[in-house]
Structure 1
């Protein structure tokens, strides 16, 4: 029982770390390049253990992101749920991709999520699109291989299966 508890705590701690990294202060020059930490960690767990971390978890983390960022409630939840569905539906195929292919796919998924968030914000509050809005997709794709290896080490350390 404690083993199962420690596995669940490892997953929850990683997800909370992603939320903390998503709102951690950064310098103004690097702010536009902030990777989508919570989404990348969430996508890793959806790919690694889809029976434990699923679309419902994506929705909850998205709601937490909405609350933390002060955005319209449900916008990030919708984007993360959509991307989580794609990952959950194709997790067997994505596992067989090389790290560089996974990085490109994660970058694409971040771009899709950011597009959904922008479109909903545009229709709700007439938001304007800035030139650096999709830079987090590039930085997330660059960081993915290292994040993947760290998260795999955490998963193996706690025996999450």
Structure 2
């Protein structure tokens, strides 16, 4: 398998796995603790391979997420576009942050995502969510180093095989 095809396979499989984790059923008690896996994977790829992740890709990814989860059509698309825009805008800084600062930046991005969700759901007339609504970004922040290191390790192994 050539390098380009292997990179595309890793890219595609990472998003497929993120969607599967997003769709994984959890008991109602643990639902507030489920991080936004698709956003974490998109943040990684926007930092490491910005030529693959643009606003159009984020929009299509969000529409696919809306269709898969049965949410309001366009909600995840808007969330991912905002997230992709911010990450791509500040990519040069985020990329060279140490892991601790990068983790805090991811927390800020995920909190911003929650504010976008609040706005969308507020406009659609949904009630204000409970405190548990704000727990998922913290769990996403804690999961970020593992997501980053796992995807980085897979890419490094691919590069090592080619050498």
Aligned residues of 1:66 and 1:74 also touching (Cα < 8 A): yes
Q: Are 2:95 and 1:95 equivalent residues in the alignment?
A: yes
Matched with 2:7 is: 7
* Counterpart-to-counterpart distance in 2, 1:42 and 1:120: 21
Instruction: Note if 1:62 corresponds to 2:62.
Output: yes
Equivalents in 1 of 2:155, 2:114: separation in Å?
28
Q: Where has structure 1 moved over 4 Å in runs of 4 or more?
A: none
Does the CA-based 8 Å contact 1:46-1:88 persist in structure 2? yes
1:14-51 per-position Cα deviation (integer Å, ceiling 9, x unaligned): 01111110110123322111111110011000000101
Please state if 1:76 is matched with 2:76.
Answer: yes
Match of 2:120 in 1: 120
> SS where residue 51 of structure 1 aligns?
coil
Alignment of 1:13-28 (within 5 A): 13-28=13-28
Query: Aligned partners of 1:155, 1:26: CA distance in 2, in Å?
Result: 30
User: Where does the alignment leave 5 or more consecutive residues of structure 2 unmatched?
Assistant: none
Q: Give the drift of 1:57.
A: 1.8
- Provide the residue aligned with 1:47 in structure 2: 47
**TM-superposed deviation, 1:150:** 0.4
Stretches of structure 1 that go unaligned for 5 or more consecutive residues are none
Secondary structure in structure 2 of the residue aligned to 1:133: helix
Q: Does 1:108 align with 2:108?
A: yes
Alpha-carbon distance in structure 1 between the residues aligned to 2:26 and 2:17: 16
TM-score (norm 1): 0.92
Question: Could you tell me how far apart the structure 2 residues matched to 1:104 and 1:53 are?
Answer: 22
Q: Distance in 1 between matches of 2:125 and 2:68?
A: 19
- Structure 1 position 157, deviation (Å): 2.4
The residue number in structure 2 matching 1:34 is 34
Taking structure 2 as the reference length, what is the TM-score of the superposition? 0.91
Report the equivalent of 1:145: 145
Q: Per the alignment, in what secondary structure is the counterpart of residue 59 of structure 1?
A: helix
